[in-house]
Amino acid sequence: MLDSAFFHRWTVAVAAAVDREADRLTELDSAIGDADHGSNLRRGFAAVVDAQGEDPPGSPGAVLGFAGRKLISTVGGASGPLYGTLLRRTGKALGETPEVSVAELAAALRAGTDAVAQLGGAAPGDKTMLDALIPAVEALETAAEKDDTKDDAAAAFRAARDAAESGALATVPLRARKGRASYLGERSVGHQDPGATSAALLFRTFAEIAEVAEATEAAG
Amino acid sequence: MSDPRVGLVLVSHSAAVASAVADLARGLTGGGPTAPVAAAGGDPDGGLGTNAELIAQAAHEVDEGAGVAVLVDLGSAVLTVKSLLADEDELPPNTRLLDAPFVEGTIAALVTASTGAPLDAVEAAAAEAYTYRKT
């Protein structure tokens, strides 16, 4: 089961990962966007970590809801309301329960992803963050149902990470149909989508945190 | 105290654009005091982008109780306002995002709001700005 400390560690680790990858995200964004994706997300997640402090709130839903609100108010670009909506809606779906299963998280992330699609009006294949998010959520749902992975959070998150990273890579040949990149038409082809890349980073971080938790349990 | 009017919030990626469009609309509305209008442009660091806190602050500032109309340029401005509207306690009650061209829609909205017209009429006037063809 995943508790609020797990999600608190996840937000801190995402902030570190975004900080580490900010230049790469901005570089991807300078090819087809307005070159602010890395710096915007860095500002947003740094604000989340700063505001949430050391002690996590009592439930995973509260951790994600707080982070989502903070992203909306601090990012300054479209990734703020989009990631903010993802986390807030996921948090809302999780409710106030103190511990959640991978299956519950997968269902909540599905609700969050649907809310992102509704807010931005994008569909799979439009070369957006959804192209990483949707396969990741599907992989997490599948892993949460399979007998050999349903009790193994780290394995489930690895499957989600792999699906997200494949999804992000698969945006390279796509033509952008949403956001500023869509103005470029055919010229958006051949570049990896920055939003799909940062979405994959969220799932890579889930896998890392789950592996650390697993190793700690084994050692304990 | 006069009757409450609809307030306007102008959200642009550029602080200069938001405040210039507010000035332009006030100037073209003329004839006495206009309905309240506040500019919320730029990102939290003063660069190009959107600032949710500034938008919420501007909406509360122009709220006289008759509703608040929000006009936006594009991209994150649209998404930020929509996500603020999805959260019930961020913006004053009866705040509405208008589907209208930023400059022309703002002028139409301010002229209409300044007559004391209700939010529905302000929204209709702003949306109608889309139908004016230039060629």
Section A90-108 average pLDDT:
97
> CA A131 to CA A194: how far, in whole Å?
11
Residues of A in contact with B80 (CB under 8 A): 72, 80-81
Q: Write the Ramachandran bin of B30: left for phi over 0, alpha for psi from -120 to 50, otherwise beta.
A: left
Measured distance CA(B97)–CA(A130) in Å, rounded: 25
Q: Does the pLDDT of residue A27 top 60, yes or no? A: yes
Give the domain ranges of chain A.
Answer: 2-219
Q: Where are the domains of chain B?
A: 7-130
Instruction: Give the distance from residue B50's alpha carbon to the nearest chain A alpha carbon, in angstroms.
Output: 4
H-helix or E-strand containing B68?
strand B68-72
Segment B39-65 mean pLDDT: 93
- Tell me the nearest-neighbour CA distance from A156 into chain B, angstroms: 30
| pLDDT score of A147 more than 80 | no
Closest to A14 measured CA to CA, from A196, A206, A197: A206
Q: Do A78 and B79 touch (CB under 8 A)?
A: yes
Average pLDDT over residues A101-129: 96
Nearest to B28 by CA among B88, B130, B109, B121: B109
- B82: pLDDT strictly greater than 90: yes
DSSP, res B101: -
List the CATH code of the domain at B7-130. 3.40.50.510
ipTM over 0.90: no
Mean pLDDT within A80-104: 96
For B106, the token pair is 């703002």
Quick check: B36 and B5 in contact, CB under 8 A? Answer: yes
CA distance B94 to B105: 19
A2-219: which CATH number, 1.10.3720.10, 1.25.40.340, 3.20.20.140, 3.40.50.150?
Answer: 1.25.40.340
The yes-or-no verdict on residue B43 having pLDDT over 80 is: yes
DSSP string, B73-90: -STHHHHHHHHHHHSTTT
Contact call for B76 and A81, based on CB within 8 A: yes
Largest CA distance in chain A: 54
Residues of B in contact with A32 (CB under 8 A): none
Chain-chain contact of A76 with B87 (C-beta, under 8 angstroms): no
**Interface probe, candidates B13, B43, B45, chain A, greatest A C-beta count within 10 A:** B43
Nearest to B83 among A72, A179, A180 (CB): A72
Q: What burial letters (b/e) apply to B35-68, b meaning 16+ CB within 10 Å?
A: bbbbbbbbbbeebbbbbbebbbebbbebbbebbb
Confidence of residue B1 (pLDDT cuts 50, 70, 90): low
List the single residue in A69, A81, A180 with the smallest CB-CB distance to B80: A81
